[in-house]
Amino acid sequence: MEAWEPAYLETHRRGLLQAKIDAAYEILSQCNLCPRTCLVDRHHGELGLCRTGDKPVVSSYGPHFGEEDPLVGSQGSGTIFLTHCNLYCLFCQNYEISHGGEGEEISVEALAAIMLALQKRGCHNINFVTPSHQVYQILAALPAAIAGGLKTPLVYNTGGYDALETLRLLDGVVDIYMPDFKFWDPQVAGDFCSAEDYPEIARQGVREMHRQVGDLAVDDNGVARRGLLVRHLVLPDGLAGTRAVMEFLAREVSPRTYVNVMGQYRPCGRAGEHPSLRKFLTALEHEQAQQTAREAGLTRLDRREKLFRGL
């Protein structure tokens, strides 16, 4: 098998990682790390919409077996749930973490130690959940993790509301981008997360992510090494704009885009505030969404089957 290593090791060897850390540090001084552009000084106690300073805030971590097949493999995805969010969807299924702030502030050295602990447990990747507002913290933790022997792919598991400048800082660092593409209609995005610009931001972000890492590539065991994996949560009454999202991915990104058309919507958080969100998604709605993806020309849909059933 051809030798493989994560992108960040070469970036570190070339002396480019520190420049990325320094640039991210400066952004936090007048924060426009994400499209919210709060312009607060996160180094000196000012908090923007994400309510996060310049230290990592982590809710939990461990091997996760509920992620997409190429991430889970036999040993699980090494998931780190980062506290808070820059999007705050009404129906968030991690509401206690994103809205409620469940978690603990730690040092970047402790974050590095978590990465190494997950690698030691055999996890196939380090999966940062909701990382958009903690990009500096992730970058700052990498040198210590690399010194400790980190050599596992990094997954950027984002809600899809990321600034292009920030994504470009991650070029040569992130191996696997896993963005949500939540909404196609600006009005829906405004109603559900006060971000009318979400659809355009998501389109720009997915294009940039694909430019950096290409289509999802897997090893001989079907475990992801590098590339783009897009999630789309199907909402009741067609509110997510599934057809338009699938056509965009197939025509403007790649028909080989690996997509998880997710059918697990359930009312969470403040979903009761909207009539359609009070309902569970039906099996028919999910099947129709999957058919829509196939009709758009997408050929790699997540099967929701574990790769290693016998293990």
| Structural domains of the chain in order of their starting residue, each with its CATH number | 7-301 (3.20.20.70)
Instruction: Check if the beta carbon of residue 85 is closer than 8 Å to that of residue 130.
Output: yes
Sheet strands (E) in the chain: 57-64, 77-82, 104-105, 126-129, 154-158, 176-179, 217-218, 224-233, 258-262, 300-301
Q: Residue 278's beta-bridge partner residues? A: none
DSSP 8-state assignment for residue 175: S
Instruction: Check if the beta carbon of residue 168 is closer than 8 Å to that of residue 11.
Output: no
Nearest-10 crossing angle of helices 108-120, 135-147: 60
CA distance 131 to 82: 7
CA distance 86 to 95: 13
Instruction: Check if the beta carbon of residue 74 is closer than 8 Å to that of residue 307.
Output: yes
**From the centroid of its chain, how far is CA 150?**
20
Instruction: Give the CA distances from residue 69 to residues 224, 286, 306, in Å, rounded to whole numbers and listed in that order.
Output: 9, 19, 6
Return averaged pLDDT per consecutive 10 residues of the chain, 311 residues in all. Answer: 84 97 98 97 96 97 94 95 94 86 95 98 97 98 98 98 98 98 97 96 98 97 96 95 98 98 90 87 94 97 56 33
**Continuous segment of H or E residues that includes residue 21:** helix 17-29
Kindly write down the DSSP assignment for every residue of 71-135, as one continuous string.
Answer: HHTTT-EEEEEES--SS--TT-TTHHHHTT--SEE--HHHHHHHHHHHHHTT-S-EEEES-TT-H
Q: Which of 126, 59, 66 is nearest to 95 (CA)?
A: 59
pLDDT at residue number 96: 87
Question: Up-side HSE of residue 173: CA atoms within 13 Å toward CB?
Answer: 25
CA distance 259 to 273: 29
